[in-house]
Structure 1
Amino acid sequence: MKIEIQLKQKTLLFFLLLFLCTLKEETVFAQKPEMHYGDLDIPTRPYAKDPYVIYFQGTYWMYYSVPGAQFKEWYIGIANSTDLTHWEKKGNLKGQKGTVEEKGICAPGALVKDGVLHLFYQTYGNGKLDAICHAFSTNGIDFERDATNPIFRPKISDWSCGRAIDAEVVAYKNNYFLYYATRDPDYKIQQQGVAVAPITANFDRNSWSEVPNMPMLKPELAWEKKCIEAASCIQKGKYLYMFYAGAYNNEPQQIGVARSVDGIHWKRMSEEPFLTNGEAGTWNESESGHPNVFKAQDGRYYLFFQGNNDKGKTWYLSKVEIGWNKKGPYLKK
């Protein structure tokens, strides 16, 4: 009888634990946002980072970073959508062998000029020699490289090791501003710099003039730790707003906002993150990072970002809607 009771107790305990595990899985699933995109080039490991969304030829395009199966190479994934939530993979843009792109490319940024889509991206795997490249397309999938690639890297100086990653190019006040992240000479601190080109520029290497007296933004707040990167800018009224990533991946990386009237001098909007990582058990527990601010065709604004809950074993892309008031941007509920 005693053995029978113990067996019943163990059976009840087993089913109770099974029920709790199922409940937990359902709870976590329910916390996932409507847009939860992971590239399945590696079928067992959804992986997409560094989103950039743009409207081109009547549809929405998203460019993002994705690794090869052995994580020895990175390239740019291409997907499109009609609703900014459900995305269909359309192809990949891979680094060209025998060039500075050979080890990989990633972290895309994009703009449309005169009906042509221009893509700005970084080389990968070259340490201090990583730099910004440029390509252009008339259909969003097939790209022609700039003959002068790489088009930009900062001079080696007392503030920069000469590296440039995470390009964002935006038209503002009759110039193009190229925002980039770089490391300090000791290769420990990630900070922001900027170069400018005239509005008539074709984006080649000769177009860009490095702005002196950098860094433009460097980590100063506790949550930013040793890194500011991944600038994404949008004009609203007389201001240019910059959404940026603070702290390295999974520390956690979170998103802040600064604004400027000249594109060079910036003031943070808050000492706290604009978008934090998620609570324990949620899909973005490990971070909410690498922002991309975007205005849709219907006038609504979205902040796209990357997140995960396993310290980077997988990565997903998502979005939140933002609104604007006299104080600046805010998260819509």
Structure 2
Amino acid sequence: MIEQDLTKIGCHGNWRRYKNNPILKDDWGETFDVTVIQVGEKLRMYLSWRSTNSIAFVEGVDGVHWSEPVIVLSPDFTTGWEDDINRQIVLEKDGKYLMWYTGMKFLGAGERMSSGRSCIGYAESEDGIHFTRRKDPVMEPEEAWEKTNLMCPHVLWDEERNIFRMWYSAGGFWEPDQIGYAESEDGIHWKKHPQNPIFRPEPTHFWEKEIVSACQIFPMDGYYYMFYIGFEDMYKATINVARSKDGIEGWERYPHNPILSGGPEGSWDVEAVYKPWVMHMDGQWLLWANGRRAAVEQVGLYIHDGDNMFEDWND
């Protein structure tokens, strides 16, 4: 009898789970929605840390083993819009670390539940550890489709056009359900695209018929690849991919979506896989994401063996 490879369950093609997932310690509590960047010879992972309502970072070299978390940005109850902060993106530009993040307002004093309103904030740092924030959000929900909810900014610096480009999630109430786009010359004052939302759920695909959200955009081979969450319903989520020539229009979904879905029965990610972050390293693609079992989310690692993730795109 051939033993079943449990690391391959719910994975398309050459994707597999790291065998010792989740990779972040249980005693840290829930961690989710990560950003990973290279800082010298080390990897730095920024993450949302639920028990502290803060953004923290850990360091490592192999994508698997990480240091203890250190908080880099805490809630500020005086601003009126960031009682809880999370879902960050960090990039390095001109010797500074720039962070865009989600700020949420609680329902009332001492009540640790989001009001359903969220905005996008901005902070910067000289060392990527000590951040100074702006007191006001840099983007708020204004358009009808956004409802009261902006989350999950992903920002790239466009060298050719000399602008920042942001893809963000909005709509819904507890979870944003569509993806919008905006541009900025300084990272603070943003102009939203007139055709927003630029990416919507596809009702003919059951795995993303309700929600698309929380994307990472990865420029490669003349395309902007979007790694995003697709929700079948509020409880079941998968990782999917689409691509566009300009990152705004003409999105083409990967024909073999979803690339990652729930793991084997009883596993840490059996019910949902959320918020991807992908990076190429040492001849492999590494993808960190949150997995969920019952009400608990943890961060795990998925690995693509080989350099070409999408050699079967047109199959």
Given the two structures, how large is their TM-score scaled by the length of structure 2?
Answer: 0.80
Q: Which residue of 2 aligns with 1:25?
A: none
1:67-106 aligned at under 5 Å gives the runs 67-68=50-51, 74-92=53-71, 93-106=73-86
Residues 173-209 of structure 1 show CA distances to partners (whole Å, capped at 9, x for unaligned) of: 523221111115x8786111010124xx2x11x2x11
State which of 199, 202, 216 in structure 2 corresponds to 1:232.
216
Q: Evaluate the alpha carbon distance shift between residue 189 and residue 118 of structure 1 in structure 2; reply closer, same or farther with a 3 A threshold.
A: closer
1:145 equivalent in alignment to 2:133: yes
Deviates more, 1:282-291 or 1:168-177: 168-177
1:1-333 aligned at under 5 Å gives the runs 33-39=19-25, 43=27, 46-68=29-51, 74-92=53-71, 93-125=73-105, 127-146=115-134, 149-157=136-144, 159-172=145-158, 174=161, 175-184=163-172, 190-198=177-185, 201=186, 203-204=187-188, 206=189, 208-220=190-202, 221-247=205-231, 251-265=235-249, 266-270=251-255, 272-296=257-281, 298=282, 300-308=284-292, 310-321=293-304, 323-325=306-308, 327=310
Q: Evaluate the alpha carbon distance shift between residue 189 and residue 176 of structure 1 in structure 2; reply closer, same or farther with a 3 A threshold.
A: closer
Q: Evaluate the alpha carbon distance shift between residue 188 and residue 81 of structure 1 in structure 2; reply closer, same or farther with a 3 A threshold.
A: closer
Residues 55-103 of structure 1 show CA distances to partners (whole Å, capped at 9, x for unaligned) of: 12442111111222xxxx6211211112211011241121123014541
Over the aligned positions, Cα root-mean-square deviation in angstroms equals: 2.7
What residue ranges of structure 1 are gaps of 5+ in the alignment? 1-30
Q: Separation in 2 of the partners of 1:120 and 1:322?
A: 31
Residues 115-171 of structure 1 show CA distances to partners (whole Å, capped at 9, x for unaligned) of: 211111101245453111111122222111135x311134222x2215210110013
Contact 2:214 2:228 in 1 (8 A): yes
Contact 1:75 1:94 in 2 (8 A): yes
Contact 2:81 2:118 in 1 (8 A): no
Q: Separation in 2 of the partners of 1:270 and 1:170?
A: 26
Q: Evaluate the alpha carbon distance shift between residue 57 and residue 311 of structure 1 in structure 2; reply closer, same or farther with a 3 A threshold.
A: same
Bigger strand share:
2
Paired letter, 1:274:
I
Bigger helix share:
1
Identical columns (%): 25
DSSP-derived class of the 1:276 partner? coil
Q: Separation in 1 of the partners of 2:79 and 2:199?
A: 31
What residue ranges of structure 2 are gaps of 5+ in the alignment? 1-16, 106-113
Q: How many residues align?
A: 283
Q: Separation in 2 of the partners of 1:107 and 1:121?
A: 6
Higher relative contact order structure (alpha carbons within 8 Å, sequence separation ≥ 6): 2
Q: Alpha-carbon deviation of 1:270?
A: 2.3
DSSP-derived class of the 1:84 partner? coil
Paired letter, 1:290:
K
Structure label with greater radius of gyration? 1
Q: Evaluate the alpha carbon distance shift between residue 177 and residue 279 of structure 1 in structure 2; reply closer, same or farther with a 3 A threshold.
A: same
Q: Separation in 1 of the partners of 2:95 and 2:183?
A: 22
Q: Separation in 2 of the partners of 1:101 and 1:89?
A: 28
Contact 1:38 1:47 in 2 (8 A): no
Q: Alpha-carbon deviation of 1:49?
A: 0.8
DSSP-derived class of the 1:131 partner? strand
